[in-house]
Chain A
């Protein structure tokens, strides 16, 4: 597709339920990122993949959060036993190395708004 897509766009979960959020990156983009955005705040880094390898998961807030990208394209962020503090927008971004600068410009999807009741 032309851009990063995410599904579902909205998810309401009861406390204690497990949820799975999907991200389809821009075709050919090697790098994939997950961010969490609380209301009124900027996005905060959760985890990073290069192809299928999860190179950094330092931003995951607890061991209830798990991300995977088994074939190096689509990624899933899973949250087990959801808590109210997990309510946020979860953003996915992808990027491909910029040949001239060596720096990665990240392109975001529309996000999944998770509400835990």
Chain B
């Protein structure tokens, strides 16, 4: 099925480093959500974005809704070992719909 493209696919970083990842779409989105999934668990909602240009923080996480409405970015500052996991972006198929599509995921590994 259709998916959003995320990059990088995976990354290894040192504890304490900052992390950046992005999500792109060929079509315009009106909502972007970022989820984190740990092994054997369901995705956990991190941040939701509703307006182009919006910048929202949740602790060490900051996400931005791209002004073109075709991309979104997630930054993690001062990474710690528990940041390990898979990060997914998600958004609705079309405006006002409940039906979300998910990105391909960015796998983050933190080296202590």
A binding-site residues for B, Cβ under 8 Å: 4, 31, 33, 40-45, 48, 56, 59, 91, 93, 95, 101-111, 113
Contact = CB atoms under 8 A, between A and B. Distances in A.
Interface string B39-82: 01111110010100000000000000000000000000000000
B101 A102 contact: no
Contact of A45 (B40, B96, B100, B103): B100
Interface residues of B, number: 27
Contacts of B102: 42-44
A103 B3 contact: no
A48 B104 contact: no
A95 B48 CA distance: 13
Given A42-B90, A108-B44, 16 more contacts: A41-B3, A42-B4, A42-B101, A44-B1, A44-B102, A45-B1, A45-B101, A48-B98, A48-B99, A101-B50, A103-B92, A105-B45, A106-B100, A109-B42, A110-B40, A110-B42
A65 to B, nearest CB: 15
B24 to A, nearest CB: 14
Interface of B: 1, 3-4, 30-31, 33, 35, 40-45, 48, 50, 88, 90, 92, 96, 98-105
Nearest to B96: A102
